[in-house]
Every structure is written in C-alpha cells, then in structure tokens.
C-alpha cells in the first residue's frame, strides 16, 4: 500500500544521525505543556522528544488537535503563558536553553536564528502596513543596515519567493494579494535574516491544491539554497515522503513514533502510524483529515490512563488500559510508543 506514495526521501545516509542528537541544531527533550483550566495531569503536549540536525527536515505529523502547533509555538517562545505552561522538559537550540532565556534574548533570536510561518496566511499579515514595510521592519530589527539596504534586501527576498513585479508589490497591502501570495510574503519575511531553523506550521493547509504544491516546492528550494534546517508540520503524507529526512508522528500530545522517513514509511510500527499509512491513498496530494482510523482523539477529561491510543487501537489489551507505554527504540534511530512494537514479533504480522 505504501507504493502509492512517491518516496523521494532525499538521502538515506542520514538515518540515525539526527536522532542520536549529537550534531543536532535543535534538541527537545521530554517537553510537557499544559493549559490552565485543563484537567490536572493531562498535558496537551506530553513528554515530547525530538531533534533536528543542521540543514535537515523533520516532519511532524498527526491528527488535528494533537499538539503540533503548541509544540512549535513553545519552541519559538510564542505560546501565551498563561494560559499555557511549560511543565517539564528542555529545548536546546545550538547549545542555548530556549526555556531559560530572558524575553529579550528570545526576541533577539526570533526572526533571526529561528523563524516561523503559519497556518493562516490570510490573517497573518498586518492589514494596515504595506508588505514591503513589514519585511523591512524584520530586517532592521536584527541587522545593522540602512533603511535603503533593508529595502534592497526585502526586494531580493520578494524575488526569491517568486513574487511577480516585486518593486510594485513592495507598496501593496496584504488585502491586495491572494492567499498564496501572502504566504510567499510570510516566507520572504521569515527567511529575510537567513535563519538556521524554519518552523513551518501547515503552511499550505489554507491554500488551493494547485498553490499548495508550488509553495512546498518553493520552501524546499529555498531550503536547499540556504541550508537551513526545518520543522515542517503537515497533514500531507505525500509531502512528508517528498521532503522529510526524519518524521515524528504525534498522537494526543505524545510522540508515538519517530524515525527516518524510510523507516516510517517502509516499516511503520505504531498502530496509529500504520493507520495513517492506510489512509494515504485516499488522501493523495490533497490536504485532508488523517483520521480514517475509526474513532476520534479522546477529550482531555476522558484521556485514558494507559496508552492514549488504546480506545482506537485494534491490538489493545489489558496492559494498554493500565500502563502507558514508553517510547522505545526498535532499531537504531527508530522508536515507537507501543507495548507490542515491533508488531511482527508480538502480533505475528499485520496488514
């Protein structure tokens, strides 16, 4: 069934390297986040560990509401605290502890070494300023350059994101542009200072199908040119297969499986991942719900004590009801959060 997915993983030789975390640009360990007012001991993001190596791409996939955006925003220091609260774990970016920085240090880093683009291009630009000014502003914030040099740089960015008539577009307001164009502006803005890490949170979900492919290939091309690392959050497994080096699958706030793109697609181990793969052909290149697995993510009040996937899992038994499984390594650089992984051994073959 995986044959339906075009597997263009860029290189196989990186397998495992990023996961050891030795040359990791970003390393997140046991990150847990909760929201005030939510039931105690149910974290929206729970025990998330992931890492991204220089120049590599990590794809974060999972059903809507599983905590992908919250994870990403926390790494950018953009999570409103309160109501959000980082209750555990650490995140290191190039050796610096992201959660122990002052507000000022975080601001110095944002839009400079790290950058983010969002799910909602239509509302992410300030309606009262021209797009040119909005890009220039970000450059002037982090670079000691003159206004005209910043404008020159902004113009160059507009060219790089293939905006037609860039000189004219500098003066345009966001409402004069389509969603795809606005997302290009967001990308230009994010990359203007040459970040080492780009976090792209479902950058194409809100766009037309035809535009989606253009934006993804643009992001990929810009990544190749600049050598930046990327965390791409997406629902689109076709895109994952195309550009991921590593994949992390999230379910209900936890990473349930992580590994190189080859391992995840060729040899998925967690029942949830297997379910996702099963639903790929029906999705194709369209954005859509991953959940063709029966049932839905339980709400926080009803979160199972044991494995969070238990109510929907075809293999679940008593142990899954009582004990939460750990994220255990199956082969080097490939781990799954399931008592019965690898399933071939424990359950005698799937599919």
Partner 1 sequence: MLRYIAKRILIAIPTILIVSVLVFTLQQLLPGDPVLTLAGEERDPQVLAFLREKYRLDDPIPVQYFAWFSQVLQGNLGISLRTDIPVLHLILSKLPVTIELAIFAMVIALAIGIPAGVIAAVRKGTSVDYAANVIALSGLSIPNFWLGILLIMLVSVRWKLLPASGFVPPSEDLWLNIKTMLMPAFVLGTGLSASLMRHTRSAMLGVLRSDYIRTAKAKGLLSHVVIMKHALRNALVPIITLSTLLFGELLAGAVLTEQIFTIPGFGKLIVDAVFNRDYAVVQGVVLCTAVGFIAMNLLADVLYVLANPRLRHAR
Ligand X SMILES: Nc1ncnc2c1ncn2[C@@H]1O[C@H](COP(=O)(O)OP(=O)(O)OP(=O)(O)O)[C@@H](O)[C@H]1O
Q: Does 44 bind ligand X (CB under 6 A)?
A: yes
State how far the Cα of 71 lies from the Cα of 75, in Å rounded to an integer.
7
| Options 35, 93, 118, 272; binder of partner 1; rule CB under 8 A | 118
Which stretch, 1-9, 108-116, 306-314, 341-349, contacts partner 1 (CB under 8 A)?
A: 108-116
Q: Does 173 bind partner 1 (CB under 8 A)?
A: yes
CB of 115 to ligand X, least distance (A): 18
- Neighbouring residues of 132: CB distance < 8 A, sequence distance ≥ 6: 151, 154, 155, 169, 170, 171, 172
What letters, b where the CB count within 10 A reaches 16 and e where it falls short, cover 94-103? Answer: eeeebbeeee
| Options 64, 90, 112, 287; binder of partner 1; rule CB under 8 A | 112
Q: Does 308 bind ligand X (CB under 6 A)?
A: no
Give whole-number Cα distances, 115 to 110, 186, 195, 308, 319, in Å: 6, 10, 6, 32, 42
| Options 115, 154, 241, 307; binder of partner 1; rule CB under 8 A | 115
- Residue 265 contact among ligand X, Mg ion, partner 1, none, beta carbon within 5 to 8 Å by kind: none
Segment holding 320, helix H or strand E: helix 318-322
- Residue 64 contact among Mg ion, ligand X, partner 1, none, beta carbon within 5 to 8 Å by kind: ligand X
Q: Does 70 bind ligand X (CB under 6 A)?
A: yes
Q: Does 65 bind ligand X (CB under 6 A)?
A: yes
Q: Does 69 bind ligand X (CB under 6 A)?
A: yes
Query: How many residues belong to the site for ligand X (CB under 6 A)?
Result: 12
- Phi, psi (rounded to 5 degrees) for 185: -60, -45
State how far the Cα of 341 lies from the Cα of 227, in Å rounded to an integer.
35
Q: Is the Cβ–Cβ distance between 269 and 282 less than 8 Å?
A: no
| Options 11, 123, 178, 322; binder of partner 1; rule CB under 8 A | 123
By CB under 8 A, the residues from 175 to 194 that bind partner 1 are 175-176, 186, 189-190
Q: Given the complex with Mg ion, which of 45 and 280 has the nearer CB atom?
A: 45
CB of 159 to Mg ion, least distance (A): 30
Q: Does 126 bind partner 1 (CB under 8 A)?
A: yes
State how far the Cα of 351 lies from the Cα of 20, in Å rounded to an integer.
30
Strands (E), 207-342: 229-233, 246-251, 254-260, 328-331, 334-336
Which stretch, 137-145, 205-213, 219-227, 294-302, contacts partner 1 (CB under 8 A)?
A: 137-145
3-state helix, strand, coil in the chain (%, to 5): 40, 20, 40
The token pair that represents 42 in the structure block: 């149910």
Radius of gyration of the chain (CA): 20
Segment holding 88, helix H or strand E: strand 84-93
- Phi, psi (rounded to 5 degrees) for 116: -140, 140
Q: Does 203 bind partner 1 (CB under 8 A)?
A: no
| Options 9, 14, 35, 93; binder of ligand X; rule CB under 6 A | 35
Binding-site ranges for ligand X (CB under 6 A) = 35, 44, 62, 64-70, 83, 202
Binding-site ranges for partner 1 (CB under 8 A) = 76, 78, 103-104, 107-112, 115-116, 118, 120, 123-129, 137-138, 141-142, 173, 175-176, 186, 189-190
């Amino acid at each position: 069934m995986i044959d339906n997915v075009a597997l263009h993983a860029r290189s196989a030789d990186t397998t495992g390297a990023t996961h050891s975390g030795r040359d990791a640009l970003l390393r997140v360990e046991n990150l847990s986040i909760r929201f005030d007012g939510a039931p105690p001991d149910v974290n929206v993001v729970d025990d998330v560990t992931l890492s991204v190596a220089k120049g590599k791409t990590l794809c974060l996939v999972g059903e809507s509401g599983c905590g992908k955006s919250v994870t990403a925003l926390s790494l950018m220091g953009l999570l409103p605290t309160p109501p959000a609260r980082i209750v555990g774990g650490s995140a290191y970016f190039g050796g610096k502890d992201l959660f122990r920085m002052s507000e000022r240090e975080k601001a110095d880093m944002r839009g400079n070494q790290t950058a983010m683009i969002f799910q909602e291009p239509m509302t992410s630009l300030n309606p009262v300023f021209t797009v040119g000014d909005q890009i220039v502003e970000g450059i002037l914030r982090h670079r000691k350059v003159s206004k005209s040099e910043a404008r020159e740089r902004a113009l160059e960015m507009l060219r790089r994101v293939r905006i037609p008539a860039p000189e004219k577009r500098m003066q345009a307001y966001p409402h004069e542009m389509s969603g795809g164009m606005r997302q290009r502006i967001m990308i230009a803005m994010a990359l203007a200072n040459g970040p080492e890490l780009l976090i792209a949170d479902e950058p194409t979900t809100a766009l037309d199908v035809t535009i989606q492919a253009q934006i993804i290939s643009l992001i990929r091309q810009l990544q190749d040119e600049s050598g930046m690392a990327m965390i791409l959050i997406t629902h689109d497994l076709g895109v994952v297969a195309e550009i991921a080096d590593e994949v992390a699958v999230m379910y209900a706030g936890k990473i349930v499986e992580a590994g190189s793109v080859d391992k995840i697609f060729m040899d998925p181990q967690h029942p949830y991942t297997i379910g996702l793969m099963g639903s790929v052909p029906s999705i194709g290149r369209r954005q859509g719900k991953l959940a063709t697995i029966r049932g839905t993510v339980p709400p926080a009040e009803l979160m199972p004590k044991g494995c969070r996937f238990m109510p929907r899992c075809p293999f679940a038994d008593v142990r899954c009801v009582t004990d939460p499984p750990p994220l255990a390594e199956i082969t080097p650089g490939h781990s799954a959060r399931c008592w019965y992984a690898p399933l071939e051994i424990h359950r005698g073959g799937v599919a």
